[in-house]
Amino acid sequence: MEFNRRNFIKFAVGGTGGILLSPLPWKLIDDIAIWTQNWSWVPVPVRGKFSYLNSVCTLCPGACGIQVRKVGSRAVKIEGRGDYPVNQGGICPLGMAGLQILYNEGIRWKAPMKRVGPRGSQEWKEIPWDEAIDELATRIKGLREKGSPEKLAAIDGNQSRSTMALLIKRLLSSIGSPNYMVMPREEDTYDMVNFLMQGSRGPIAFDLENADFIVSFGCSLFDGWGAPGRMLSASREWVKNKTYLVQIDPRTSNTASKADLWLAPFPGTEAALALGMAHVIIKEKLYSKEFIENHTFGFADWFEEDGVKHKGFSRIVLEKYSPQVVENITGIKGRVIIEVARKFASAHAPIALAGRGKGTLPGSLYEFMAVHALNALKGRVNKKGGPLIADDIPLAQWSDPEYDPVAMDGLKKARVDLAKTPRYPFSRSLVNKFTETINNSHGSPIDTLMLFSANPAFTIPDSQSFIKAMAKIPFIVSFSPFMDETSLMADLILPDHTHLEKMADIVWPTGIQYPLYALSQPVVKPIYRTEHSGDVIISLAKRIGGPVSGSFQWANFEEALKERVKGLYDSGREKVSWADIKENGYWSIPAHSFEGGSDIFQTPSKRFEFFSTEIELAIKAYSKGKSFDDALLDLGISSKGDEVYMPHYEEIKSGADKKEYPLLLFPMELINLASGWIGNPPYLNKTLFDHQLKRDDLFVEVNPKTASQYRLKEGSKAIIRSPKGELRVRIHLFHGAMPDVIFIPFGLGHTAYDKYLKGKGVNPNEIIDQVEDPLSGQPVWWNTRVKLIRI
């Protein structure tokens, strides 16, 4: 009975048999199989109660209604609101990917930060909110004590009529600084057109849904122009109503592909094309006689009281813009121009739209005027399906801020960006000139720069110059919720909430036909130690003290906003309450009254002005003490005579030599590539084709003919060089691209944000060689001469 080998084997056999007769092996096999399905690093989403919360997307001034699906306290999905007047269910890719902005820890500031290392070293110290606001308050107080409050400046990316923008503007003026700037945008140009031709300071709205013939002079209607959700929804109406769409675009954009007719004039000659159409309409007397005779000024020749003869718009157009001449300028066949003009004129509700791309950057003033002149020729202003002049939204006005002597003195100083001065009488803000002034001065005329909802170091054309200017500014405060290029160069970060964590408003979303006030509400509780910038401003004002504090009587942002909104329900036009507006997310007067008559035009002549009296007055004022021709030269206007005051074609000059830089760099905007101050979220990267971005290489679109001149093939690497610098790209051959033009998308080439975005592609803004638009002084960003070098 010893435990020898044989017995051991017996024991083992018994044991094996016993184990096999027990559930152990079978259970283990099963459990291990299940275990392999449960890797601990594969997330298991937390369950909870499902709910929906309505809000408004405030990522752009489009203000689409959204509903956010929640599980417990987490937001899990964003959907378009079908019952929201702006977008009727549709939203754009960026809005859809909004949760990747909210929850992406890698791109957000989580608390107030103070720079501790040298600028750009990214050494930060987290500080308490009190300390952060105190630091800024002390600095501003210091400026006021020294009697130079104008050394404070702000660049604001918020929608211009929003409560947030008004609050920032109020802060600056109560402190005593005139240097409140907004980021350049297409709206600036529209505002000027509206003021110069129609005398109105309100927005121009476009009744696109009711138009039956649309000529878009470069607006990427389906690529993110206006309120993208609305435009895409509008396309359904157009299909239903068989609306005829003419898209003018140098490349087969999505809009051009969907259009009934695509015209590709040389970039920058759109004004000539519009005037060529005007020529046909005037020559063939297809215009609205009633409107022209009763409601316009400057159409026919006229004599002033002192006997000076003026040439009318009609004569100038007939003389200078015959289809043959326009064909030579634009490259569009004369017969096509005649055909389109006739179709436009014979349509029941035609509309002409000026713009370029998504409308995030300003356009050319004279070009926009030329396009708008087409609307006037057909008498479409304020008619159903036309461009509308509408009453502004009846928001209550805050009481005027208090000004102390320091503030009054400060406000009398000239703006650093020269906007609203005799040199740039119509632009309200010129960040490009701000950059130039700082770069051209000894030291910096600005001591403290505050930035709100903007990332100019990335989005401003010729961004390198802006970065150079930033380096000269002693103190920069960023209110951005994101670790973007601009905030990484700041000295103090006071992070705002993201759009889903705060209440914000948009007053009259871009291009909507009727007055609409959009109000968003927090969808989730703030997830980091961020504060609403509105609240921060109010608390900052209180700490600055004195009259500044007195101008901010509200306890918080919501109170300030509520005071404005009160005007809506006091107006009595729509029976609503604060609770209604908050719950529905909007207030609107759903129909436009389409009034006709002269009373809608507030110009000096009380008519629609082909000949802008305001321009005449402004140029007269500017030319005081110098020769008239010099004045025009200064203003960048090459025309002479009455044309100067009217819509006309100005060739946009470029400083670069055409021989050395034979090609044109045309930045394009894609609806699925966020190019504004919000970084492109990872989901949007999914939608980019691998002929747009491959690994970290950005592709530019080049016509195969042009590419073959440089012996470039699909995927070839190349350098684009402009006088401002160079970019390394790869080539995508695209028949839809105009020969001799290089199309490059805006939105990539970030040097900040997380690894899903940083270092991918290149940023065209770096090499944009901007020139000034005549008269308006806005940057012309689509006219950079470049050369292509094969590598």
* Contacting another protein within 219-278 (CB under 8 A): 222-223, 228-229, 232-233, 235-236, 239, 252, 254-255, 257-258, 262-264
Q: Which of 54, 58, 104, 603 binds another protein (CB under 8 A)?
A: 104
Q: In the numeric block, which tokens belong to residue 159?
A: 């929608």
What's the angle, vertex CA 344, arms to CA 338 and CA 346, rounded to 5?
100
Residue positions counted in the chain: 791
Q: Which of 687, 719, 726, 751 binds another protein (CB under 8 A)?
A: 687
Strands (E), 613-704: 663-668, 693-694, 697-702
Residue closer to another protein (CB basis): 88 or 375? 88
Minimum distance between the CB of residue 102 and another protein, rounded to whole angstroms?
Answer: 8
Minimum distance between the CB of residue 561 and another protein, rounded to whole angstroms?
Answer: 28
Residue 332: name the closest of 323, 319, 320 by CA. Answer: 323
- Distance separating alpha carbons of residues 141 and 761, to the nearest angstrom: 43
Q: How many CB atoms lie within 10 A of CB 472?
A: 14
Minimum distance between the CB of residue 375 and another protein, rounded to whole angstroms?
Answer: 25
Minimum distance between the CB of residue 30 and another protein, rounded to whole angstroms?
Answer: 9
Residue closer to another protein (CB basis): 38 or 399? 38
Q: How far apart are the first and last CA of the chain?
A: 88
Q: Which of residues 748-787 bind another protein (CB under 8 A)?
A: 754-756
One-letter amino acid at 148 equals S
Residue closer to another protein (CB basis): 114 or 691? 691
Q: Which of 125, 573, 653, 686 binds another protein (CB under 8 A)?
A: 686
Q: Which residue has the tokens 């806005």?
A: 778
Binding mask 554-593 for another protein (x = CB under 8 A): ----------------------------------------
Radius of gyration of the chain (CA): 30
Binding to another protein by residue 97, rule CB under 8 A? yes
Binding to another protein by residue 481, rule CB under 8 A? no
Please tell me the count of residues contacting another protein according to CB under 8 A: 106
- Contacting range for another protein; rule: CB under 8 A; set: 31-39, 211-219, 420-428, 600-608: 31-39
| Strand-pair category, 771-772 with 693-694 | unpaired
Residue closer to another protein (CB basis): 500 or 619? 500
User: 475 has which bridge partners?
Assistant: 448
Q: In the numeric block, which tokens belong to residue 762?
A: 């290149």
Binding to another protein by residue 682, rule CB under 8 A? yes
Q: Which of 59, 91, 476, 489 binds another protein (CB under 8 A)?
A: 91
Residue closer to another protein (CB basis): 59 or 738? 738
**Cα torsion at 649, 652, 657, 662 (round to 10°)?**
-80
Binding to another protein by residue 120, rule CB under 8 A? no
Binding to another protein by residue 42, rule CB under 8 A? yes
Q: In the numeric block, which tokens belong to residue 421?
A: 């001065």
Minimum distance between the CB of residue 505 and another protein, rounded to whole angstroms?
Answer: 23
Q: Which of residues 446-465 bind another protein (CB under 8 A)?
A: none
- Distance separating alpha carbons of residues 88 and 598, to the nearest angstrom: 34
Three-state SS at 271? helix
Do 326 and 318 touch, CB atoms closer than 8 A?
A: no
Minimum distance between the CB of residue 477 and another protein, rounded to whole angstroms?
Answer: 25
Minimum distance between the CB of residue 706 and another protein, rounded to whole angstroms?
Answer: 10
Q: Which of residues 277-296 bind another protein (CB under 8 A)?
A: none
Minimum distance between the CB of residue 581 and another protein, rounded to whole angstroms?
Answer: 25
Q: Which of 63, 66, 78, 272 binds another protein (CB under 8 A)?
A: 78
Q: Which of 80, 387, 509, 749 binds another protein (CB under 8 A)?
A: 80
Residue closer to another protein (CB basis): 472 or 694? 694
- Distance separating alpha carbons of residues 3 and 100, to the nearest angstrom: 69
One-letter amino acid at 567 equals G
Q: Which of 352, 377, 503, 684 binds another protein (CB under 8 A)?
A: 684
Minimum distance between the CB of residue 755 and another protein, rounded to whole angstroms?
Answer: 6
Three-state SS at 307? coil
Q: Which of 18, 405, 474, 641 binds another protein (CB under 8 A)?
A: 18
Minimum distance between the CB of residue 443 and another protein, rounded to whole angstroms?
Answer: 41
Residue closer to another protein (CB basis): 66 or 395? 66
Segment holding 534, helix H or strand E:
helix 533-544
Do 495 and 528 touch, CB atoms closer than 8 A?
A: yes
Do 742 and 663 touch, CB atoms closer than 8 A?
A: yes
Q: Which of 92, 168, 281, 454 binds another protein (CB under 8 A)?
A: 92
Residue closer to another protein (CB basis): 236 or 640? 236
Q: Which residue has the tokens 């923008």?
A: 165
Binding to another protein by residue 340, rule CB under 8 A? no
| Strand-pair category, 492-493 with 113-115 | antiparallel
Q: What are phi and psi of 561, to 5 degrees?
A: -70, -40
Q: Which of 57, 59, 75, 503 binds another protein (CB under 8 A)?
A: 75
Q: How many CB atoms lie within 10 A of CB 22?
A: 10
Q: Which residue has the tokens 């070293």?
A: 121
Binding to another protein by residue 663, rule CB under 8 A? no
Q: In the numeric block, which tokens belong to residue 440?
A: 């051209």
Residue closer to another protein (CB basis): 39 or 303? 39
Q: Which of residues 724-753 bind another protein (CB under 8 A)?
A: 734-739
Binding to another protein by residue 77, rule CB under 8 A? yes
- Contacting range for another protein; rule: CB under 8 A; set: 67-75, 410-418, 481-489, 602-610: 67-75
- Contacting range for another protein; rule: CB under 8 A; set: 74-82, 179-187, 297-305, 364-372: 74-82
Q: Which of 637, 671, 700, 788 binds another protein (CB under 8 A)?
A: 671
- Distance separating alpha carbons of residues 378 and 288, to the nearest angstrom: 5
Residue 412: name the closest of 181, 150, 140, 144 by CA. Answer: 150
Segment holding 458, helix H or strand E:
helix 456-459
Neighbour-count burial of 32, counting CB atoms closer than 10 A to its CB (0-12 exposed, 13-18 middle, 19+ buried): exposed
Binding to another protein by residue 685, rule CB under 8 A? yes
- Contacting range for another protein; rule: CB under 8 A; set: 104-112, 270-278, 511-519, 615-623: 104-112
Q: In the numeric block, which tokens belong to residue 226?
A: 């206006």
Minimum distance between the CB of residue 652 and another protein, rounded to whole angstroms?
Answer: 22
Q: Which of 346, 689, 713, 717 binds another protein (CB under 8 A)?
A: 689
Residue closer to another protein (CB basis): 580 or 754? 754
- Contacting range for another protein; rule: CB under 8 A; set: 20-28, 184-192, 458-466, 716-724: 20-28
Residue closer to another protein (CB basis): 6 or 575? 6
Do 652 and 771 touch, CB atoms closer than 8 A?
A: yes
Binding to another protein by residue 695, rule CB under 8 A? yes
Residue closer to another protein (CB basis): 253 or 478? 253
- Distance separating alpha carbons of residues 738 and 519, to the nearest angstrom: 42
Three-state SS at 370? helix
Q: Which of residues 413-442 bind another protein (CB under 8 A)?
A: none
The per-type count for the chain, helices as H runs and strands as E runs, is 28, 32
Residue closer to another protein (CB basis): 196 or 700? 700
Segment holding 141, helix H or strand E:
helix 129-145
- Contacting range for another protein; rule: CB under 8 A; set: 69-77, 421-429, 468-476, 607-615: 69-77
- CA 13 vs CA 23, 355, 542, 558: distances in Å: 17, 87, 87, 80
Binding to another protein by residue 525, rule CB under 8 A? no
**Adjacency order of strands within the sheet including 350-357:** 261-263, 244-248, 213-219, 350-357
